[in-house]
Amino acid sequence: MTATHPSFTPRQERWLLLTLAAINFTHIVDFMLMMPLGPQFTALFHISDAEFGLLVSAYTLAAGVSGLAATTYIDRFERKTLLLRLYAAFALATLACGLAPSYATLMAARILAGLFGGVLGALVQTIVGDAIPFERRGRAMSVVMASFSLAAVVGVPASLWLANAASWHAPFFAIAGLSAAVCLAGARSLPRLDGHLGAALGKSATSALRAVLREPNHWRAFGLSMLVMSAGFSIIPYVTLYSTQNLGVLPGQVPLIYLAGGMSTLFTVRLWGTMTDRWGKVPTFRLIAAGSMLPMLALTHLPAVPLWGLILVSSLFFVFVSGRMVPSMAILTSATQPHMRGTFMSLNAAMQSLAMGAAAFVGGLLIHRDPAGRLVGYGWAGWLSVALTLIALVWVSRVRMNAPAAVA
């Protein structure tokens, strides 16, 4: 069964994707910003690495809970209205992060940000699935996923500059202000999307959730999604801590790591999108995922090297680890029927968030500090990521896509 998609002009489709990418950009910067600020937070609040990992996990775990809650309502509302209301709430939660005076209040604000940010990601992906035909979905997803690269190229370095120039509060104020501006722009540029509503009429709030949960293919897709996210987030939250404590990177040099990695992924994300549509979603996923394993091990076992060596390895890591998301999200948005896509993607976002939070927490348990303050055990997190990636390479063939076999 193939979906009937709304008809947009190329200009309308371009503005739709750019607006969705801008929404993605702001909530991704908000999430990514916590990780390079790790050294500041551990010193300022006198917390351990595990407590910092919990601060990162709080966002993802809250996003998981809100994703589960969203499965009862997301397909019962028009997409644009729901997206903008959740986005406005996210902007307020981010503002609360900037106003937080202590570890406890920051934790509470991060939980609020996660409650709204987690649903935003699912809704953005749902709209791409609703609005863009299967045969162009890889390229469309690459435009939206380019926001990850822009977040690393522009968002994180600019936020760190603000944090160094003013205080750690300043980046959250900036993100909240930018989110408010994008929300106003989205009210003008986003089209009304309500083609899915007919199938929800007369059904209970939980009927769509039950329908999603009854489908075995959905569970196979959730398994793939959780494997992909876990493989990355057992490593990613601790890149900055490892770089500064073990490799001698100065705090002022940290933005260069994210800038170089983001620039690299910005150039390659469109390539991954084109390959996904041209070569097939499963073969492309396997190629990129297999390519990610060597950088995973290299980054987590890296000895003291010049800064350019770290930048080279970390850039390859970001290129391949983020690159897996383009074909995997194209696969996931095609693993369900249009009338239940919002519920499916919300539940998938919950699964992803729980996997990310658990992986970040497990990664924190695997590492500890030696008497000199260096991180020990980071290599085990790398091996865990490789093991999860190997399972994903096999698992991906189990997911069935609702599209003609010729283009799958």
pLDDT (average), residues 169-194: 89
- What is the residue whose two structure tokens read 């994300």? 269
| Secondary structure (DSSP) of 77-141 | S-HHHHHHHHHHHHHHHHHHHHH--SHHHHHHHHHHHHHHHHHHHHHHHHHHHHHS-GGGHHHHH
Q: What is the mean pLDDT of the chain?
A: 84
How many Å apart are CA 177 and CA 99, to the nearest integer?
13
In this prediction the pTM is 0.71
How many Å apart are CA 358 and CA 378, to the nearest integer?
16
Whether 322 and 148 have beta carbons less than 8 Å apart is answered as: yes
pLDDT confidence band for 407 (50 / 70 / 90): very low
Span 121-150, pLDDT tens digits? 778 878 887 777 767 777 777 777 777 767
290 has pLDDT over 80: yes
Q: What percent of the chain has pLDDT over 70?
A: 92
Q: Does 65 or 299 have the greater pLDDT score?
A: 299
Question: Which pLDDT does position 63 carry in this prediction?
Answer: 80
How many Å apart are CA 7 and CA 1, to the nearest integer?
19
Span 230-265, pLDDT tens digits? 999 899 888 888 998 889 888 778 878 878 887 888
**Structure token digits, residue 294:** 């060597």
How many Å apart are CA 28 and CA 37, to the nearest integer?
15
How many Å apart are CA 189 and CA 111, to the nearest integer?
30
